[in-house]
Structure 1
Amino acid sequence: MSDVFGSVHLGYIVIETNKLADWKRFGLDAIGMHVDELTPDVTRFRIDDRECRFLLQRGPKEDVTAFGWHVDDHETFDIILGRVAASGLPVIEGTPEECALRGVERLWRIAGPKGVATEIFTTALITPAPLHMKNREFVTGDSGMGHVAIAAKDALSLHGYYNTLFDARLSDYILEKVGPLDLMIRFLRVNERHHSVALANVQQFPVNPIQSAVQHINIQVADLDDMVAAFERVKALGFKMVWSVGQHTNDRELSFYCQTPSGFELEVGWNPVLVTPELEATWEPTTYQGISIWGHTHVGETIIDKMNAFRNMVGSLREKEQLVPELSSTEKIKALL
Structure 2
Amino acid sequence: MITRPDIFGAARLGYLVVGSERLTDWHRFGADAVGLHVDELTRDALRLRLDDRECRFLVERGPREDVTAIGWEIDDHETFDVVLGRVRAAGLPISEGGAEEAALRGVDRLWRFPGPKGVATEVFTRARTTAAPLRMRTTAFVTGRSGLGHVAITTTRPEQLHTYWNTLLDLRLSDRITERVGPAKLAIRFLRSGPRHHSIALANVAGLRLDPVRTAVQHVNIEVARLDDLLASFHRVTELGFAMAWSVGQHTNDRELSYYCVTPSGFELEVGWNPVVITPELEATWEPGHYDAISLWGHTTVGARVATLMSGFQATVRSLREREETVPALSTIPRGVRR
If the length of structure 1 is used for normalisation, what is the TM-score? 0.97
The Cα offsets for residues 178-228 of structure 1, whole Å up to 9 and x where unpaired, read as: 221111000000111000000000011100000101000000000000000
Tell me if 1:207 matches 2:210.
yes
Whole-Å separation in 2 of the counterparts to 1:284 and 1:151: 24
1:313 CA drift (Å): 1.1
Matched residue, 1:78: 81
Q: What is the CA–CA distance in structure 2 between the aligned matches of 1:331 and 1:291, rounded to whole Å?
A: 34
Distance between the aligned counterparts of 1:187 and 1:220, measured in 2? Answer: 17
Matched, 1:308 2:317: no
Q: 2:151 aligns with which of 148, 151, 154?
A: 148
| Cα distance between partner residues in 1 of 2:20 and 2:310 | 24
Alignment RMSD: 1.3
* Residue pair 1:5, 1:166 contacting (<8 A) in 2 also: yes
Q: How does 1:275-286 map to 2 (within 5 A)?
A: 275-286=278-289
- Does the C-alpha gap of structure 1 residues 331 and 177 become closer, same or farther in structure 2, counting only changes over 3 Å? farther
CA contact (8 A) 1:183 1:200 kept: yes
CA deviation after TM superposition for structure 1 residue 311, in Å: 2.6
- Structure 1: gaps (5+ residues): none
> Would you say the 8 A contact 1:176–1:184 is kept in 2?
yes
Aligned to 1:53: 56
Helix, strand or coil at the partner of 1:281: helix
**Residue equivalent to 1:221:** 224
The 8 Å contact of residues 53 and 106 in structure 2, kept in 1 or not, is answered as yes
1:28 aligns with 2:24: no
Q: Residue 287 of structure 2: SS of its match in structure 1?
A: coil
Query: Superposition pairs for residues 134-145 of structure 1, below 5 Å?
Result: 134-145=137-148
Paired residue for 2:165?
A: 162
Contact 1:156 1:330 in 2 (8 A): no
CA distance in 1, matches of 2:302, 2:179: 17
- Write the letter of the residue equivalent to 1:290: A
Q: CA deviation at 1:301?
A: 1.2
Instruction: Give SS of 2:27's match.
Output: helix
Match of 2:241 among 238, 249, 257: 238
- 1:97 maps onto 2:100 in alignment: yes
**C-alpha deviation, 1:25, in angstroms:** 0.2
Q: Which residue of 2 aligns with 1:133?
A: 136
Take 2:96 and 2:9, find their aligned partners in 1: how far apart are those partners?
24
Q: Does 2:283 match 1:287? A: no
Retained in 2: the 8 A contact 1:157–1:330?
A: no
In the aligned structure 2, how far is the partner of 1:61 from the partner of 1:313?
18
Separation in 2 of the partners of 1:160 and 1:329?
Answer: 7
For residues 68 and 150 of structure 1, the distance between their equivalents in structure 2, rounded to whole angstroms, comes to: 15
SS of corresponding position for 2:103? helix
**Separation of aligned partners in 2, 1:192 and 1:91:** 29
One-letter amino acid of the counterpart of residue 324, structure 1 = V
Residues 300-335 of structure 1 deviation map (CA, whole Å, 9 limit, x = unaligned): 113443333223212210011011000012589xx9
Look up the match of 1:178: 181
Distance 2:309 2:38 in 1: 34
Pick from 272, 278, 294 the counterpart of residue 275 of structure 2.
272
Write out the 4+ residue segments of structure 1 that deviate beyond 3 Å after TM superposition: none
Instruction: Quote the Cα distance in structure 2 between the aligned partners of 1:2 and 1:220.
Output: 31
TM-score (norm 2): 0.97
Q: Which runs of 5+ in 2 are unaligned?
A: none
Contact 1:71 1:122 in 2 (8 A): yes
Query: Residue 102 of structure 2 aligns to which amino acid in structure 1?
Result: C
Structure 2: distance between partners of 1:93 and 1:331: 26
- d(CA) in 2 for partners of 1:134 and 1:39? 23
1:224-265 Cα deviation digits (max 9, x unpaired): 000000000000000000000000000000000000000000
SS of 2:285's equivalent?
coil
Counterpart CA distance in 1 for 2:102 and 2:162 is 28
- Whether 1:260 aligns to 2:263 is yes
